[in-house]
Amino acid sequence: MIPLSFAQQRLWFIEQLEGPSALYNTPFAVRLTGEIDAAVLSLALRDVLARHEVLRTTFPATDGRPQQSIAEPDGPAVASAEVAAVAVADEAELTAEVDRAVRHVFDLASELPIRCALFSLSADEHVLLVLMHHIASDGWSVPPLFRDLDAAYRARRAGAEPLWEPLPVQYADYTLWQHEMLGTEDDPESVLATQLAHWKGALADAPEELDLPYDRPRPSMPSHRGGAADLALDAELYASLAELAAEERASLFMVLQAAVAALYTRLGAGTDLPLGTAVAGRTDEALDDLVGFFVNTLVLRTDTSGDPSFRRLLERVRRLDLDAFDHQDVPFERLVEQLNPARTPARHPLFQTMVTLDSDEDLPSDFAGLTCREHVLDQRLAKFDLSFAFVEQHDADGVANGLSGAVEYAADLFDHATAATLGERLVRVLRAAAAEPDAPLSTIGILGPAEREQLLSGWIGPVTELPPGTVPELFEAQAAATPEAVALVR
Per domain, the residue ranges of the chain are: 6-175, 185-445, 447-490
Taking the C-alpha atoms of residue 184 and residue 74, their distance in angstroms, rounded to an integer, is 37
Predicted confidence at residue 488, as pLDDT, reads 34
How many helices (H) and strands (E) the chain has is answered by 15, 16
* Residue 482 · residue 460 · CB < 8 Å: yes
Q: Is 13 left (phi over 0), alpha (psi -120 to 50) or beta?
A: alpha
pLDDT tens figures, 126-153: 999 999 999 999 999 999 999 999 999 9
The confidence score (pLDDT) of residue 308 equals 98
385: alpha, beta or left? (left if phi > 0; alpha if psi -120 to 50): alpha
DSSP 8-state symbol, 398: S
d(CA 253, CA 241): 10
Q: Which of 98, 120, 115, 101 is nearest to 36 (CA)?
A: 120
* pLDDT greater than 90 at residue 361: no
Instruction: Give the model's pLDDT for residue 462.
Output: 47
Is the pLDDT reported for residue 317 higher than 80?
yes
- How many other C-beta atoms lie within 10 A of the C-beta of residue 415? 14
- Alpha carbon 63 to chain centroid distance? 33
**Out of 185-189, 211-215, 271-275, least confident range:** 185-189
Distance separating alpha carbons of residues 336 and 295, to the nearest angstrom: 16
Q: For the residues 260-286, what does the mean pLDDT come to?
A: 95
- For 385, residues 6+ apart whose C-beta sits below 8 A from its C-beta are 212, 214, 347, 348, 352, 353, 409, 410, 413, 414
Question: Which pLDDT tens digit goes with each residue over 285-304?
Answer: 999 999 999 999 999 999 99
The reply to whether CATH 3.30.559.30 applies to domain 185-445 is: yes
> Where is average pLDDT lowest: 21-25, 137-141, 361-365, 431-435?
361-365
d(CA 294, CA 285): 13
> What pLDDT band is residue 464 in, cutting at 50, 70 and 90?
very low
Cα three-residue angle 417-348-281, rounded to 5 degrees? 105
pLDDT over 90 percentage in the chain: 79
Give the per-residue pLDDT at 463.
46
Confidence of residue 487 (pLDDT cuts 50, 70, 90): very low
What mean pLDDT is reported for the chain?
92
pLDDT tens digits, residue range 301-315? Answer: 999 999 999 999 999
Give residue 456's pLDDT: 75
Could you give the 3-state DSSP secondary structure of residue 410? Answer: strand
Per-residue pLDDT at 356 exceeds 70 = yes
pLDDT in tens, 449-458: 887 777 776 5
**Residue from 204, 152, 173 nearest 53 by CA:** 173
Same fold, 6-175 and 185-445: yes
Please write the tens of the pLDDT for every residue from 45-55.
999 999 999 99
pLDDT at 398 > cutoff 90: no
Q: Which pLDDT does position 470 carry in this prediction?
A: 67
Give the model's pLDDT for residue 343. Answer: 83
- Confidence label for 1 from pLDDT (cuts 50, 70 and 90): confident
Give me the CATH code for the 6-175 domain, please.
3.30.559.10
Over residues 56-63, mean pLDDT: 95
pLDDT tens, residue by residue, 85-133: 999 999 999 999 999 999 999 999 999 999 999 999 999 999 999 999 9
